[in-house]
């Protein structure tokens, strides 16, 4: 089956969706980072290190993704990138650097996901680990991602862009729009069998699979503990289940990226039985932008102090508007109740057990 030609209309949709998702991702993750710094209780501080690392990773991912806007075009054993972002107005190497930053954020987010589930299990079974220990773990899992980024940049520096452009024009001309380096920059890797390139792609694509396996393992252990007769108050149990639900929902988002990674690997190495998937060239990295624009809202909603901090000004605006008196009174009563509850719980030590 002939793949759809990458038309100006298709390019406009691709760029428009990228701009929207990356902008939402940047604003939402900035908001979440502000909440983590200024609205985190002392008992939640150790886990907020993981949240802050995840938020920074997704913030940088959204910014670098908007700057690059890559399309991924496998051609035999070669790999072509076509960049439609702002990087095309600078040196072509800037597109490769932006893509390297994006890829390292992807792998870092994948490795933080099982660490989050491990933390929740550790809190339930023992107690919250020290903040310094969590910070060290986050740094430890970041080191491979950082090394990958440096190697990726070196690979783009040594890339033979002229050769990639030539084979793209010969074998996949329907994907070569626009044929203008000022509108779309083309670069890539000659052969995926080169040891450096192969290891880079494996590190970017593969961590999601063991990451999911570890996350599912700890999620089952957490739920088993919460459903047992473990000594825990109803409030603490409900808070733990809420946080596990948030982690579960956030873990579903990279599932789409995992499917795209699997399809890309299948397509790149031409394994038998590969199916046709429309628009996969754009969707491989666009799916990451979509996921990073949704993830911070899940965190904000399921972490009660963050949720109340965001909803409070909204409900205040509703009170000032001409809304029905019954609705207005309900909102005022809700926030009076939640404010009183927050004040009464400030001095309680139970927060340390929850977080």
Segment of 177-191, 267-281, 317-331, 338-352 carrying the highest mean pLDDT: 177-191
Give pLDDT, residue 259. Answer: 62
Is the pLDDT confidence value at 24 over 70?
yes
- Between 121-135, 160-174, 328-342, the lowest mean confidence (pLDDT) is in 328-342
Distance from C-alpha of 243 to C-alpha of 291, rounded to nearest angstrom: 18
| Joined tokens for residue 345 | 């719980």
Is the pLDDT confidence value at 305 over 90?
no
Q: Could you report how far apart the first and last alpha carbons of the chain are, in Å?
A: 53
CA nearest neighbour of 74 among 260, 306, 310, 301:
260
Alpha-carbon torsion (88, 292, 73, 100), positive or negative: positive
Give pLDDT, residue 274. Answer: 57
Q: Are strands 70-75 and 78-83 parallel, antiparallel or unpaired?
A: antiparallel
On whether the CB atoms of residues 47 and 119 are closer than 8 A, the answer is: yes
Domain boundaries, the chain: 8-303
What residues does 70 pair with on adjacent strands? 83
Segment of 54-58, 255-259, 296-300, 345-349 carrying the highest mean pLDDT: 54-58
CATH 1.20.1070.10 assigned to domain 8-303? The reply is yes
What are the angstrom distances between the C-alpha of 80 and each of 68, 112, 175, 180?
Answer: 14, 29, 10, 15
CA nearest neighbour of 215 among 282, 117, 346, 292:
117
Distance from C-alpha of 55 to C-alpha of 172, rounded to nearest angstrom: 37
Taking the CA atoms of residue 115, residue 150, residue 186 and residue 105 in that order, the dihedral angle to the nearest 10 degrees is 20
* Three-class DSSP category at 347: coil
Give pLDDT, residue 343. Answer: 46
CA nearest neighbour of 256 among 212, 198, 196, 221:
212
Give pLDDT, residue 349. Answer: 41
| Joined tokens for residue 336 | 């009076």
pLDDT digits 0-9 by tens, 136-177: 999 999 998 899 899 889 999 988 888 998 888 888 887 777
Is the pLDDT confidence value at 345 over 70?
no
Give pLDDT, residue 63. Answer: 92
What are the angstrom distances between the C-alpha of 276 and each of 4, 6, 269, 300?
Answer: 11, 16, 14, 37
Confidence band for 350, pLDDT divided at 50, 70 and 90? very low
Average pLDDT over the chain reads: 79
> Span 95-113, mean pLDDT?
89
Is the pLDDT confidence value at 121 over 90?
no
Residues 6+ apart with CB under 8 A from 319: 328, 331, 332
On whether the CB atoms of residues 142 and 108 are closer than 8 A, the answer is: yes
* Three-class DSSP category at 233: coil
Give pLDDT, residue 347. Answer: 43
On whether the CB atoms of residues 149 and 104 are closer than 8 A, the answer is: yes
Is the pLDDT confidence value at 49 over 70?
yes
Is the pLDDT confidence value at 23 over 90?
yes
Q: Tell me if the pTM is above 0.95.
A: no
Place of tokens 């960049």: 83
Give pLDDT, residue 355. Answer: 45
């Amino acid at each position: 089956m002939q793949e759809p030609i990458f038309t100006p209309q298709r390019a406009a949709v691709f760029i428009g969706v990228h701009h929207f998702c990356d902008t939402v991702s940047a604003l939402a993750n900035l908001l979440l980072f502000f909440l983590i710094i200024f609205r985190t209780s002392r008992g939640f501080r150790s886990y907020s290190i993981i949240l802050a690392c995840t938020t920074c990773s997704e913030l940088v991912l959204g910014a670098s993704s908007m700057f690059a806007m890559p399309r991924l075009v496998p051609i035999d054993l070669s790999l072509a990138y076509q960049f439609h972002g702002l990087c095309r107005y600078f040196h072509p190497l800037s597109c490769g650097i932006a893509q390297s930053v994006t890829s390292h954020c992807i792998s870092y987010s994948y490795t933080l996901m099982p660490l989050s589930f491990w933390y929740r299990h550790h809190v339930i079974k023992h107690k919250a680990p020290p903040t310094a220990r969590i910070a060290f773990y986050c740094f430890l899992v970041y080191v491979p991602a950082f090394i990958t980024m440096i190697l990726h940049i070196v690979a783009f520096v040594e890339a033979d862009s002229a050769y990639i452009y030539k084979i793209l024009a010969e074998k996949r001309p329907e994907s070569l729009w626009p044929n203008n380096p000022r509108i779309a920059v083309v670069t890539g890797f000659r052969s995926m069998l080169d040891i450096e390139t192969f290891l880079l792609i494996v590190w970017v694509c593969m961590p999601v699979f063991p990451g999911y396996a570890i996350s599912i393992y700890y999620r089952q252990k957490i739920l088993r503990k919460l459903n047992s007769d473990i000594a825990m108050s109803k409030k603490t149990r409900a808070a733990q289940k809420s946080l596990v639900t948030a982690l579960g929902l956030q873990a579903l988002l990279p599932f789409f990226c995992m499917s795209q990674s699997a399809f890309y690997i299948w397509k790149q190495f031409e394994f038998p039985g590969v199916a046709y998937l429309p628009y996969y060239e754009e969707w491989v990295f666009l799916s990451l932008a979509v996921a990073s624009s949704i993830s911070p809202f899940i965190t904000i909603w399921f972490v009660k102090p963050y949720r109340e901090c965001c909803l409070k000004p909204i409900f205040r605006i509703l009170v000032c508007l001409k809304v029905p008196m019954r609705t207005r009174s309900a909102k005022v009563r809700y926030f009076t109740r939640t404010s009183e509850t927050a004040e009464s719980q400030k001095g309680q030590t139970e927060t340390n057990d929850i977080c």
